[in-house]
């Protein structure tokens, strides 16, 4: 009987957005206006595909992108939190559900030796093609109208929990740690013993606060955080129960 910890990546594990951070590799550290203006709401993955093609065309190579990516800072207290989970892995299963991409997340986890903290990473698959360009694909297709078309985190979470149940793994509770607007959908899946942990001052916390004000139904508890150290304190209480 374990607790399932679900993490977002951008602005949760790391203290920035990996997709915008990579722009520092561009000439003059910015994108051309016409490329910036090509973004359409809900089609971020397609936009990033164009960004990666532009970077490749400008001669930005894999090692340069990797150097930039692994220089990204972790969110406050996050290194301590991941080390705490590592030491208590018998009590937790741990997954990432992220709208970043598999290459960026792998680079960061490998560089910091945190790969073994996570049992599974759900994100947009990415790879370098024969021209040395980074290409990214949609994680999946879904019919949820609230989420961007490449990823509904709720669908991923429901499927994962269902598959685990079929294999005899039943979680005592789910703790969801995130920050963004696309974390709202999976939080609505949480039940009364589960805990939503939004980062203070970010979109997820603001949305959950508004839902609470509007008396919209939500079963889980909500505990906000600004440092991973606060999350450690909360998890220590949970594993003592």
At 133-160, the pLDDT tens digits run 999 998 888 888 888 888 999 999 999 9
Report whether 37 belongs to an annotated binding site: no
- Nearest CA among 174, 179, 175 for reference residue 207: 179
Q: Tell me how crowded residue 213 is: count the other CB atoms within 10 A of its CB.
A: 8
Please, which residues bridge with residue 134 across strands? 128
* Domain annotation covers residue 35: no
Reduce the DSSP state of residue 80 to 3 states and report it. helix
**pLDDT of 141:** 81
**What is the reported pLDDT for 147?**
86
This prediction's pTM: 0.95
Q: How is residue 116 annotated by DSSP?
A: G
Within a domain: residue 32? no
**194 known ligand binder:** no
Residue with tokens 């998890």: 235
Q: Which residues in the chain land under pLDDT 50?
A: none
| Residue 45 lies inside a defined structural domain of this protein | no
Q: Which pair of tokens denotes residue 204?
A: 């997820």
Nearest to 183 by CA among 72, 73, 97, 56: 97
Beta-carbon contacts of 191 under 8 Å, excluding residues fewer than 6 positions away, are: 174, 219, 220
Domain that holds residue 162: 2-15+74-124+146-239
Q: Is 179 annotated as belonging to a binding site?
A: yes
Please state the domain count of the chain.
1
With beta carbons less than 8 A apart as the criterion, state whether 183 and 147 touch: no
Q: Within a domain: residue 136?
A: no
The predicted structure's pLDDT at residue 167: 95
The residues that are catalytic are 8, 10
End-to-end, the C-alpha distance of the chain in Å comes to 12
Residue 121: strand pairing partners: 96
Contact 169, 159 (CB under 8 A): no
Strand partners, 15: none
| CB neighbour list of residue 20: distance below 8 Å, 6 or more residues apart | none
Q: Are 171 and 2 in contact (CB under 8 A)?
A: yes
Known binding residue 10? Answer is yes
User: Does residue 34 fall inside a structural domain?
Assistant: no
Report the 3 state secondary structure along 155-172.
HHHHHHHHHHHHCCCCCC
- The answer as to whether 22 is a domain residue is no
How high is the pLDDT of residue 2? 94
Answer for the pair 222, 198: CB distance below 8 angstroms, yes or no: yes
State the CATH number of the domain containing residue 174.
3.40.50.1000
Q: How far apart are CA 4 and CA 181, in angstroms?
A: 21
The reported pLDDT for the residue numbered 96 is 98
Structural domain contains residue 231: yes
In the beta sheet, which residues pair with residue 196? 176, 222
Task: Report the C-alpha dihedral over residues 83, 89, 93, 97, rounded to 10 degrees.
Answer: 20
């Amino acid at each position: 009987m374990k607790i399932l910890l679900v993490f977002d990546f951008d602005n949760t594990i790391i203290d920035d957005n990996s997709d915008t951070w990579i722009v520092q590799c561009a000439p003059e550290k910015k994108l051309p206006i016409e490329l910036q203006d090509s973004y359409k709401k809900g089609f971020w993955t397609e936009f990033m595909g164009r960004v990666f093609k532009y970077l490749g065309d400008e001669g930005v190579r894999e090692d340069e992108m990797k150097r930039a990516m692994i220089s990204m800072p972790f969110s406050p207290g996050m290194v301590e939190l991941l080390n705490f989970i590592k030491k208590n892995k018998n009590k937790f299963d741990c997954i990432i559900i992220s709208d970043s991409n598999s290459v960026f997340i792998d680079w960061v986890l490998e560089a910091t030796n945190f790969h073994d903290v996570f049992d599974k990473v759900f994100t947009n698959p990415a790879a370098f093609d024969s021209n040395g360009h980074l290409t990214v694909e949609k994680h999946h297709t879904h019919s949820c109208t609230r989420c961007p078309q490449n990823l509904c985190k709720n669908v991923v979470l429901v499927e994962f929990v269902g598959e685990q149940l079929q294999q005899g793994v039943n979680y005592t509770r789910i703790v969801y740690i995130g920050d963004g607007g696309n974390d709202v959908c999976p939080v609505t899946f949480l039940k009364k013993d589960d805990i939503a942990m939004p980062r203070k001052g970010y979109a997820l916390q603001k949305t959950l606060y508004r839902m609470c004000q509007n008396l919209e139904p939500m079963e889980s508890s909500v505990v906000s955080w600004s440092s991973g150290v606060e999350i450690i304190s909360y998890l220590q209480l949970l594993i003592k129960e």
